[in-house]
Structures are given as structure tokens and as C-alpha cells.
């Protein structure tokens, strides 16, 4: 039964605990995946998961620095733990992730209470680093390093959907973006290692995998064997064909796609391969060619539109989501309007937006044509209103459809409901029928009639026995 399988304790190791740990994860899916691997390491070392952040013996913040607001949020969290450390000196304070990498030693000068500062490339080395802390050192691990193959058993938050890193780092140079400087050079994992991880997930009853990379279309280009025409010998498309036969896995997703490299072959593969879901997250960032050039994105608005057109030719109901930035340095009102126009034309299922935020060591931060805060606010509010309207309209296409929903758990805000997602990644809530004659559990795919469509989520009724 569902309730029991959800409440069932995961196979935690039973050796006596050497203390409790707490991890707060900021930022993107990449960081979430890293946190799960670090949690796995901590549990292997004998730490047990704390129920309260302020009672834990080890607190790890896996940080993000994509915008200034993300950075400030980390500092405010850290402040509270620093206070606690003064009363409870045994507390181990670990700052991992992108802000840790960006600040390095200088974070230690700012917050001398921290025991360990570690960049994203050192995630798989947590045990060693903590060993050095236990010997009485304050440790900063931010040097560029080759990421060792992942041998840790991640402590995953979901028991149904698993993240699988396929490429670390990013070699792009988008002029606004801090990621290449904090995540380092691209490093693809070998296809066999990826497939083995997926086979293990399937053995543990996982039903869905999401392949992760900051620029997932770059997968393979650092692997040995470049073709005569300069293209990489092994691509994301090849990988999709290679992993598709893993028995037990029913859904395959991937993120994040880059319009510069998104290929027709990839679209064809997504169409041909049953398990690959019809959802594409392809950030466009701006709807104006001049701004795209200044952002150093390497594509035009027309090229972007062509990609979406090609996807819709084969998969008319595919869901298309994206990221966009407003108020990039120098963005005129007309250029900003071009972004709104593109959103209207494409009809996105969802767009994640942000006002441009200057980041350390990025070219655009040094330009003297920054847009005033008031303008940023106005544009962000307006674009979000438009997206809300469009995504709500677009979600109406689900109404009265029968969708296959993969059950992931209870709705945390209303436990009389269970939740899952459509293949197109729409979150869907279902009432648990009163006379519960359905014998279903986590990881089942149920046929659901969609009865309500909002901008972020759907509601529906289970219709199969
Ligand atoms: N690799 C992905 C995006 C990673 S960062 C890509 O190439 O699209 C996630 C999103 O944060 C970006 O898509 C962008 O919209 C936003 N972002 C990145 N840097 C930013 C900055 N300096 N200010 C505002 N938003 C930013
Ligand atoms: Fe940043 Fe561009 Fe790399 Fe995406 S592709 S992570 S936006 S540098
Ligand atoms: Fe943030 Fe690093 Fe991800 S800066 S968005 S956590 S790659």
C-alpha cells in the first residue's frame, strides 16, 4: 500500500551514529544531486540524519551564487549557525558548492568559524576532507581537480526519480554567468559508468531518471575520439540510445539543453525512444538578437524558434520550458519587448525568469550600462504576469485528457492527496479515493483524468482499477 511504502524507513545503515548531520541545498538540480551524494557519504561514515537544523552536530550548506540574492541568502543562514557554534564549539560547519568555490579562502576570513570550505569538484572527496577537519585543521578545497568517478551511494530524497550527472562543469562563456568559473571545465562521465548507475537505480526500484548537465548538449565532447568533421564521437543522443534498454526505468529526462548545440538528431531520438519524455527545458535568455550576441549565447532568435518548430513537428504536445533574463546591461525597452514577443509566439509551458544580477569575474558585470533597480523590478513583474497567463492558458490543453501520472508521494501541503507528474513534467495532484479500492503504490503509473489546470500544476481523478 502507498502509505506504508512511503512511511517505510529507507534502508538506513544500523551502525551506531557518530553524530547527526543536516544539509541545506541552495540552487539548481546539480546542487541537489551533489547534496544527495554528500548525504550518502556522511551516512556511510556513520552520521545519521538530524531532524532539526539547529540540533545537528554537522551542518552542511551546499550553496549557490547564480545571483546576488542567492549569495546573500547563504550568508544569512550561515550567520545563525555561527552564533550556535559559539555556544556549541563541537558543531562542524561545512560550506560546499558554488559560493564556496567563488569565495574560497576569503570566505574563511569573513566567517572564521567555518571548518570546511569545498567547491563542487570536491563533492566525491567529502570523507577525506572531513578526516582532515577531524585532525584539527580548517580546510579549504577549491583547487581545480579531476572529478573522481562517483563511487558513493547517494542518499536520494526520492525513491522513484533519480538524478544522474552525466557531465560536470561548463565551457561556455555566457557573459553574465558565474557557473564556468565555479563549476570548472566540462568533464563527461563514461557511458558505462552512467549506465551502471541507472541499472543500480532500477534495481532499487527507481522508475525515472533525469540526466544532468549545465550544458547537457556538450556531453561527450571531452571524451576521447573526435570525428573527422570535428564533431564529438559520442553525444547525448548516442547516450540516450545506449541507456534506453535499462529494464525497470520507465521515464528518462534530461536538462539543461543549450539552443546553440540542440540537434535535429536529438529531437529524432526523443521521438523514437519511448521512455524519453516529451519535455524540453531550453533556456532562451532573451528574445533579441543583439542582446543574445552580447550575452555570447551563440544563436539567434530564429534558430531558437526553428528548434521549437522541429520539436513540435514530431511531438505537438511536448512541453517547452525555459529560462529568461530581463534587464541585461543596456537592454532597451524595445529589446525587452522582443523577449515578451517571443514568449507570446512560442507559448511556453513555463519560464523561469530573473532580473540580471552582476556576478564576480563575469564580463557583463563590468559594463557601465547597468539597468536601474526600479526598471528591473517593473520588467520582472510584467514578464512574470505574462508567463503566468500563458502557462495557465497552455495548461488548459490537458483538461479532460487522460494522462499517465507516475506517483511520487503525498502532496506535502495536503496529505489527503497524492502527487506525481505527467510525462511532460506537469505536477499533478490526485485525491485519494475515500473507499480506497485502488491498490497502488509509489512508482506506479496511473491513468488520470485531468479536471483542473493552473499555471504550475494540474489536478485529476484516477480512472483505472
Ligand atoms: N546552463 C543553463 C543555465 C544555468 S543557470 C543555460 O545555459 O541556460 C540558470 C539560469 O539562471 C540561467 O538560465 C539564467 O536565466 C539565470 N542566470 C544566470 N546568471 C544570471 C545572472 N547573472 N543574473 C540573472 N540571472 C542569471
Ligand atoms: Fe552559464 Fe552559459 Fe554555461 Fe549555462 S551555458 S551554465 S548560462 S555559462
Ligand atoms: Fe547555483 Fe551553482 Fe547551480 S551557482 S544555479 S548551484 S551551478
Q: What CATH number has the domain bearing residue 361? A: 3.80.30.20
The response to whether residue 182 sits with its C-beta less than 6 Å from ligand 2 reads: no
Same domain membership, residue 384 and residue 247: yes
Per-residue model confidence (pLDDT) at position 439: 67
Read off the pLDDT of residues 295-319 as tens digits, 9 standing for 90 and up. 999 999 999 999 999 999 999 999 9
The Cα–Cα gap between 26 and 30 comes to 10
Structural domain containing residue 193: 161-397
- Strands (E) across 180-235 are located at 187-188, 208-212
| pLDDT confidence tier of residue 416, bands split at 50, 70 and 90 | confident
Q: Is the CB of 28 under 6 A from ligand 3?
A: yes
* Confidence check: pLDDT of 364 > 90: yes
How confident is the model at residue 432, as a pLDDT? 81
pLDDT-derived band at 465 (thresholds 50, 70, 90) equals low
Domain annotation covers residue 7: no
276 plus 357 within the same structural domain: yes
Contacts of 171 (CB under 8 A, 6+ apart): 180, 185, 186, 215, 218
Pocket test for ligand 3, best of 24, 34, 62, 64 (most atoms within 8 A of CB): 64
Q: How far apart are CA 92 and CA 106, in angstroms?
A: 19
Domain assignment present for 381? yes
Tell which of 346, 369, 397 closes a domain: 397
Average pLDDT (319-330) is 98
CA distances from 61 to 25, 194, 441 (A): 6, 27, 33
Q: For residues 162 and 39, what is the distance between their CA atoms, to the nearest angstrom?
A: 14
Minimal-distance CA residue to ligand 1 atom 12 = 323
pTM: 0.94
Q: Does 315 lie in the same domain as 455? A: no
Pocket-testing residue among 214, 296, 298, ligand 2, by greatest number of atoms within 8 A of Cβ: 214
- Whether ligand 1 lies within 6 angstroms of the CB of 66 is answered as yes
**At which residue does the C-alpha cell 551506531 appear?**
16
Ligand 1 in contact with 419 (CB < 6 A)?
A: no
Any ligand 2 atom below 6 A from CB of 250: no
Report if residue 250 sits inside a domain. Answer: yes
**128 with 166, same domain?**
no
Ligand 1 close to Cβ of residue 376 (< 6 A): no
Task: Please check whether residues 359 and 417 belong to one and the same domain.
Answer: no
pLDDT at 7: 35
- pLDDT at position 340 is 98
Q: Are residues 298 and 408 in the same domain?
A: no
Ligand 1 contacts CB of residue 354 (under 6 A):
yes
- Residue 172 Cβ inside 6 Å of ligand 2? The answer reads yes
Q: Is it the case that residue 457 has pLDDT exceeding 50?
A: yes
148 located within any domain: no
Tell which residue, 400, 325, 396, 332, has the closest CA to residue 358.
325
Predicted confidence at residue 437, as pLDDT, reads 60
- At 343 the pLDDT is 98
| pLDDT given at position 441 | 85
Q: Domain holding 39: CATH number?
A: 3.40.50.12160
Give the pLDDT of residue 117.
98
Angle at 263 between CA 259 and CA 267, to 5 degrees: 105
Please state, for a pLDDT cut of 90, what percent of the chain lies above it: 88
Q: With a 6 A CB cut-off, is 121 part of the ligand 3 pocket?
A: no
Element spanning 180, H or E: helix 179-183
Same domain, yes or no, for 337 and 273?
A: yes
How many domains, the chain? Answer: 3
- Which residue, of 397, 420, 436, is where some domain finishes? 397
% residues pLDDT > 70 (the chain): 93
Q: What average pLDDT does this structure show over 335-350? A: 98
Q: What is the pLDDT of residues 210-232, one digit of tens each?
A: 999 999 999 999 998 766 666 66
Bridge partners of 418, per DSSP, are 410, 430
The answer on pLDDT for 280 being more than 60 is yes
Same domain? For 104 and 174 the reply is no
Query: Contact at 8 Å (CB) between 252 and 207?
Result: no
> Alpha-carbon distance 431 to 452, whole Å?
12
Please give the backbone phi and psi of residue 231, each rounded to the nearest 5 degrees, phi first: -80, 160
Q: Is 210 in the pocket of ligand 1 (CB under 6 A)?
A: no
CA of 188 to the centre of ligand 3 (A): 18
- How far apart are the C-alpha atoms of 213 and 310, rounded to whole Å? 23
Element (H, E) at 214: none
pLDDT for the residue numbered 296: 98
Q: Are residues 289 and 370 in the same domain?
A: yes
Residues 235 and 315 in one domain: yes
* Closest C-alpha residue for ligand 2 atom 2: 174
To which H or E segment does residue 181 belong? helix 179-183
Which CATH number fits the domain that encloses residue 427?
Answer: 2.40.50.140
Tell me which of 397, 422, 441 is where a domain ends.
397
Band (pLDDT 50/70/90 cuts) for residue 455 is confident
Q: Is the CB of 169 under 6 A from ligand 1?
A: no
Domain match, 35 and 22 both = yes
CB distance 323 to ligand 1 below 6 Å: yes
Is residue 130 in some structural domain? yes
407 with 435, same domain?
A: yes
pLDDT of residue 8: 38
Among 208, 206, 154, 159, CA closest to 5: 159
**Does residue 2 belong to any structural domain of this protein?**
no
Calculate ∠ Cα 250-254-259, nearest 5°.
Answer: 145
What pLDDT score does 148 carry? Answer: 79
User: At residue 13, does pLDDT exceed 70?
Assistant: no
Using most ligand atoms within 8 A of CB, pick from 27, 214, 215 the residue to mutate for ligand 3.
Answer: 27
pLDDT, tens only, 63-72: 999 999 999 9
Ligand number nearest to the C-alpha of 323: 1
Q: Whose CA is nearest to atom 1 of ligand 3?
A: 64
Beta-ladder partners of 209: 162, 252
Residues with Cβ within 8 Å of residue 334, at least 6 apart in sequence: none
Query: Alpha-carbon torsion 380, 381, 386, 391, what sign?
Result: positive
- Lowest-pLDDT range, 153-167, 225-239, 385-399? 225-239
Q: What is the pLDDT of residues 422-451, one digit of tens each?
A: 999 999 999 887 766 666 789 999 999 999
What is the whole-number distance in angstroms between the Cα of residue 225 and the centre of ligand 2?
25
Tell me if residue 416 falls in helix, strand or coil.
strand
Beta bridge partners of 330: none
152 falls within a domain: no
Asked if the structure places residue 181 within a domain, the reply is yes
Classify residue 137 as left (phi > 0), alpha (psi -120 to 50) or beta. beta
CA distances from residue 363 to 284, 324, 334, 372 in whole angstroms, order as listed: 19, 19, 23, 18
In Å, what is the CA distance from 236 to each residue of 168, 199, 212, 333? 14, 18, 11, 38
Amino acid at each position: 500500500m502507498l502509505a506504508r511504502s512511503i512511511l517505510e524507513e529507507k534502508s538506513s545503515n544500523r551502525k551506531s551514529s557518530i553524530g547527526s548531520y543536516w544539509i541545506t541545498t541552495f540552487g539548481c538540480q546539480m546542487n541537489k544531486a551533489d547534496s544527495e551524494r554528500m548525504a550518502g557519504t556522511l551516512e556511510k561514515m556513520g552520521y545519521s540524519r538530524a531532524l532539526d537544523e539547529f540540533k545537528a552536530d554537522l551542518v552542511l550548506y551546499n550553496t549557490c551564487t547564480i545571483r546576488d540574492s542567492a549569495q546573500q541568502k547563504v550568508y544569512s543562514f550561515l550567520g545563525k549557525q555561527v552564533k550556535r557554534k559559539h555556544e556549541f564549539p563541537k558543531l562542524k560547519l561545512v560550506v560546499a558548492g558554488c559560493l564556496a568555490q567563488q569565495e574560497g579562502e576569503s570566505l574563511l576570513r569573513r566567517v572564521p568559524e567555518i571548518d570546511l570550505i569545498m567547491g563542487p569538484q570536491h563533492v566525491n572527496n567529502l570523507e577525506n576532507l572531513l578526516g582532515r577537519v577531524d585532525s584539527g585543521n580548517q580546510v579549504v578545497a577549491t583547487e581545480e581537480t579531476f572529478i573522481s568517478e562517483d563511487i558513493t551511494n547517494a542518499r536520494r530524497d526520492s525513491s522513484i526519480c533519480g538524478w544522474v550527472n552525466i557531465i560536470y562543469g561548463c565551457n561556455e562563456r555566457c557573459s553574465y554567468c558565474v557557473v564556468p568559473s565555479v563549476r570548472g571545465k566540462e568533464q563527461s562521465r563514461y557511458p558505462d559508468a552512467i549506465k551502471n548507475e541507472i541499472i543500480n537505480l532500477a534495481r532499487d526500484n527507481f522508475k525515472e531518471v533525469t540526466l544532468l548537465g549545465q550544458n547537457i548538449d556538450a556531453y561527450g565532447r571531452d571524451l576521447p575520439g573526435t570525428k573527422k568533421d570535428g564533431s564529438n564521437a559520442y553525444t547525448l543522443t548516442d547516450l540516450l540510445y545506449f541507456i534506453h534498454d535499462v529494464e525497470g526505468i520507465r521515464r528518462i529526462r534530461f536538462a539543461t539543453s543549450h539552443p546553440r548545440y540542440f540537434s535535429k538528431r536529438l529531437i529524432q531520438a526523443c521521438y523514437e525512444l519511448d521512455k524519453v519524455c516529451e519535455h524540453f527545458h531550453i533556456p532562451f535568455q532573451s528574445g533579441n538578437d543583439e542582446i543574445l550576441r552580447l550575452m555570447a549565447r551563440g544563436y539567434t532568435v530564429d534558430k531558437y524558434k526553428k528548434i521549437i518548430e522541429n520539436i513540435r513537428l514530431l511531438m505537438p504536445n511536448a512541453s517547452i520550458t525555459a529560462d529568461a533574463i530581463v534587464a541585461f546591461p543596456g537592454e532597451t525597452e524595445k529589446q525587452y519587448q522582443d523577449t515578451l514577443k517571443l514568449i507570446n509566439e512560442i507559448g511556453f509551458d513555463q519560464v523561469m525568469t530573473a532580473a540580471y544580477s552582476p556576478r564576480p569575474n563575469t564580463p557583463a558585470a563590468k559594463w557601465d550600462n547597468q539597468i536601474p533597480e526600479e526598471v528591473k523590478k517593473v520588467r520582472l513583474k510584467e514578464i512574470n504576469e505574462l508567463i503566468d497567463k500563458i502557462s495557465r492558458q497552455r495548461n488548459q490543453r490537458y483538461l479532460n485528457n487522460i494522462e499517465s501520472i507516475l506517483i511520487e508521494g503525498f502532496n506535502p501541503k495536503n496529505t489527503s492527496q497524492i502527487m506525481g507528474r505527467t510525462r511532460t513534467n506537469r505536477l499533478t495532484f490526485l485525491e485519494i479515493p475515500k473507499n480506497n479500492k485502488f491498490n497502488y503504490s509509489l512508482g506506479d503509473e496511473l491513468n488520470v483524468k485531468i479536471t483542473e489546470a493552473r499555471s504550475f500544476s494540474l489536478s485529476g481523478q484516477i480512472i483505472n482499477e
